[in-house]
Amino acid sequence: MVKQTIQIFARVKPTKKPTAEYFVDSEEQGGSLEFVVPRDLADGVINNKRENYKFRFQRVFDQTANQEEIFEAIAKPVAENVLAGYNGTIFAYGQTGSGKTFTITGGAEHYSDRGIIPRTLSYLYQHFSKDSSMIYTTHISYLEIYNETGYDLLNPQHEACHLEDLPKVTIMEDPDQNIHLKNLSLQQSASEEEALDLLFLGDTNRMIAETPMNQASTRSHCIFTIHLCSKELGSAMVRRSKLHLVDLAGSERVGKTGVGGQILTEAKYINLSLHYLEQVIIALSEKNRSHIPYRNSMMTSVLRDSLGGNCMTTMIATVSVERRNTGESISTCRFAHRVALIKNDAFLNEELDPALLIVRLKKEIQSLKEELALVTGEQRSDKLTQEEIQQLEEQINLYLEDPDIEGTLNLGPDMRKIHFCFYLLKVRVREGSCAQNGVSNGSTPLLVMSDEEQRKSYAEVQKLRDMLTHRDNEISILVNMLKKERKKVQDVTYQLAQLQNQNPSTYNSSWSPTTIQGEDIAKCDPSNDYTNTQHLMTKNRVLELSVGQQEAFEVFLRDHEDRLSAENNRAVLQQRFVEAKTLGEQVNQIRIRVNELKTHLKIRRKQMAAQGLTGNQTASEPDFVEDRILNQIEEEKKNYKIKSGCLKGLKTEIEHLQMLHEKLKVKFQKDFEIWWTQEGTRLQGHSAENAGSSQSHLSPLSCLLPSNPKGDDTDLQERRQREQTSFTSRGQRALPSAECSSTSVLLTGDKQTDADIQAFIRARHILLNSTGVAK
């Protein structure tokens, strides 16, 4: 058992706005963060208000700290403890917009912006590949708590378009007060790529909205859990540990932000759950406290082990040093100091392998049944099987070969086995008497071994038997692993066949599979699918666009604020593909050269052997040609290892860049849907006003709008208008009145012809160009 207080760290969010006066003492053994709040002269001459607020942390990271430093100092020690068999938790706490999600999950623009979750997954799977003495099994779960309701973000059977469509998670408690989450799925991940895909799937389903404090604020608490099971080869003990990576929703002062509607309701639930969390922290920090209010909220119930239980917990306090956020930053630091008073008792989660335990219990049950039959006098009339007879013969041989005189022969209460063993012993005694006379049953003289030889022979047999048992265990483990891998290959082959039957044209893209280091890697060129609107549809959300909507989407995509980020990521991804292809060709060339050098070496050795037989050369003379070939082979092997390492790193970076590319695709799609709905609602109202005022000012084609347009419900429209900004707030150009007329025609859906829609889009471009020239 390891007794340890919760470790606290502080991270200052980088900002370009005016900051308050603060000082950072960032030492590796212990740092401090100090805020200076000058007294307000309006309070009078006598003012005892405190000016300096200084807080101690394990370490403080200033604005210049990067993601790699955060992982090395905070997450890596916790991951090492999880590999050793202890539970671990890392959670970020702070106000809205202070950098919690960026610290835990990471950013979507650059590969270096990866957060704690993807870096921890990469570290764990690299350790799995290096440690060949252990067998690791990994499962992942992703829980979201939104308005005190839990949702499973990774359920594969529910391809939901909205958060409400996801399965709800409920809390169950057993008599031992252990928490169980019903409807929360555990997804097995055999590689880093599968784990990152699950992370991307969960992040896509998260609830995000825009607030005055943050443009993309997470409105829920999310808990990403890694369940790890490790077992040493040949051992009967299993270690089970879990790592919680928690991204808490940000606290905010409603009176300061001035939010309303659904965002106000979300803020109430967030502040209430954080209030209950603080109550648990205060109760745990007080001595002689009999009751801890874990059941007040779902979040504190799920994190019961992390707060004062069997876990090694670390907290990251994210603070914003802007002048308007000084009060919230001081409150965050005070909360961190209360958390640091909690002590956790972490245990090594080690237990007997359930499979071996089941085998042992079955043997015990069989033995008890046989004893019961002996006591009750019930005799079995069936004959012994061939396997039972073989086991009894082996037991008799071990009993006779055992040099210990007090050794016992455990046969159980089965009288059939007892009678058969007596029969075998009688046969052995008769054979021994014949051996003493010097003649065996086959009239062949027997060799009598001395006691020392018998002991040596028995020791060798025992050693070989132990080795054979160990090999049998290894073979069974390898066979099970081979079966699992074969099943995975069959599943992947079946999925590829289905995909090829559904859309065979996708396999004729400009990127063809390239063999690199013996692996087939088929990737897509991102430069082609950026402008293709059909590729912006994800596997969970499919949107069918008409011709007019496609042209409107292209115009919307050109003016989007994240267009430059997508183009930069695409350029970097293309460059990495070219580098990977070049490295793969170099690795193949090195392999070919090594094989050629080995062939030359064999030929040279044959020639030297032939010269030695003919006597032209003595064996003591060195062969400089052979030494030169061996040196070349060693150099090529070194180059091969270097190139292979670079290629592996490029592969990981390419996969991460592709994941970022997919995230931007999903964001473009969601923004376009929201903009399209808002523009439709606004233009329909504008058309109704024009119709009431004068019929002469109506556009000829605007009459094509339906009299009672079928749109979304009023509550849903108000919800979307409150959650998302308008098209103008993203930096886009507002549509003039003539353009509104053309855009309103697009809202008629399938009742309009594509020719009319394309004419309106072209008129819109002409109007925009003429407006720009006039300006």
Mean pLDDT, rounded, for 351-379: 79
Ranking 72-86, 370-384, 422-436, 757-771 by mean pLDDT, the lowest is 757-771
More confident residue, 703 or 332: 332
Label residue 113 by pLDDT band (50, 70, 90): confident
Give the CA distances from residue 541 to residues 22, 201, 495, 674, in Å, rounded to whole numbers and listed in that order: 47, 12, 19, 14
Tens of pLDDT, residue by residue over 385-431, are 888 888 888 888 888 888 877 778 777 777 778 888 888 888 888 87
pLDDT the model gives residue 245:
94
From residue 762, give the alpha-carbon distance in Å to each of 67, 551, 755.
Answer: 47, 10, 11
State both tokens at 247: 């991204």
Beta-bridge partners for 181? 171
What type of residue is 589? Answer: Q
pLDDT at residue 225 is higher than 90: yes
Stronger pLDDT, 751 or 231, i.e. the higher one: 231
Choose the weakest-confidence range: 124-138, 230-244, 452-466: 452-466
Instruction: Report which secondary-structure segment, H or E, holds 127.
Output: helix 116-130
More confident residue, 631 or 383: 631
What is the model's pTM?
0.54
Tell me the C-alpha distance between 305 and 307, whole Å.
5
The least confident of 75-79, 125-129, 363-367 is 363-367
Taking the C-alpha atoms of 670, 674, 676 and 679 in order, what is their torsion angle to the nearest 10 degrees?
-160
Render the burial of 165-183: b for 16+ CB within 10 Å, e for the rest: ebbebeeeeeeeeeeebee
Grade residue 140 by pLDDT with cuts at 50, 70 and 90: very high
Report how far residue 60's alpha carbon sits from residue 78's, in angstroms, rounded to the nearest whole number.
18
| pLDDT interval class at 351 (50, 70, 90) | confident
- The per-residue pLDDT of the chain, averaged, comes to 75
Closest CA to 65 of 11, 118, 115, 117: 11
Q: How far apart are CA 296 and CA 176, in angstroms?
A: 19
Q: State the DSSP H helix or E strand holding residue 171, giving kind and residue range, or none if neither.
A: strand 168-173
Find the range with the poorest average confidence among 128-137, 146-155, 713-722. Answer: 713-722
533 pLDDT higher than 90: no
Sign for the pseudo-dihedral over CA of 418, 422, 423, 424: positive
3-state helix, strand, coil in the chain (%, to 5): 55, 15, 30
Residue 354's Cβ-count burial label (10 Å; 0-12, 13-18, 19+) is exposed
pLDDT recorded at residue 303: 87
Max avg pLDDT among 272-276, 412-416, 603-607: 272-276
Percent of the chain exceeding pLDDT 90 equals 14
| Per-residue pLDDT at 207 | 64
Of 367, 352, 420, 368, residue with least CA distance to 391: 420
Cβ–Cβ under 8 Å, residues 664 and 565: yes
Q: Quote the pLDDT of residue 261.
A: 77
The predicted structure's pLDDT at residue 209: 54
The length of the chain is 775
Using the predicted structure, report yes or no on whether residue 38 has a pLDDT greater than 50: yes
Report the first-to-last Cα separation within the chain, whole angstroms.
74
Is the pLDDT higher at 18 or at 620? 18
Q: What is the DSSP letter of 149?
A: E
Distance CA 292, CA 298 (A): 14
Neighbours of 407 (CB within 10 A): 11
Question: For 493-517, how does the pLDDT look when each residue is reduced to its tens digit (9 = 90+)?
Answer: 777 777 666 544 443 433 333 333 3
Q: Which amino acid is at 70?
A: I
pLDDT of residue 653: 86
Of 235-249, 325-339, 467-481, the least confident: 467-481
Instruction: Specify the DSSP class assigned to residue 38.
Output: P
Q: At what angle do helices 451-502 and 386-401 cross, to 10 degrees?
A: 140
Percentage of the residues of the chain whose pLDDT score is greater than 70: 71
Residue 241 backbone dihedrals phi, psi, to 5 degrees: -140, 165
State mean pLDDT over 702-721.
Answer: 42
758-770 tens-digit pLDDT: 555 555 554 444 4
Q: What is the 3-state secondary structure (H, E, C) of 206-259?
A: CCEECCCCCCCEECCEEEEEEEEEEEECCCCEEEEEEEEEEECCCECCHHHHCC
Q: What is the 3-state secondary structure (H, E, C) of 380-443?
A: CCCCCCHHHHHHHHHHHHHHHHCCCCCCCCCCCCCHHHHHHHHHHHHHHHHHHHHHHCCCCCCC
Secondary structure letter of residue 352 according to DSSP: E
pLDDT per residue as tens digits for the range 296-347: 888 888 888 888 888 999 999 999 988 888 888 999 999 999 889 888 888 8
User: Any idea which of 128-132, 309-313, 666-670 has the lowest mean pLDDT?
Assistant: 666-670
pLDDT band at 539 (very low <50, low <70, confident <90, very high): very low
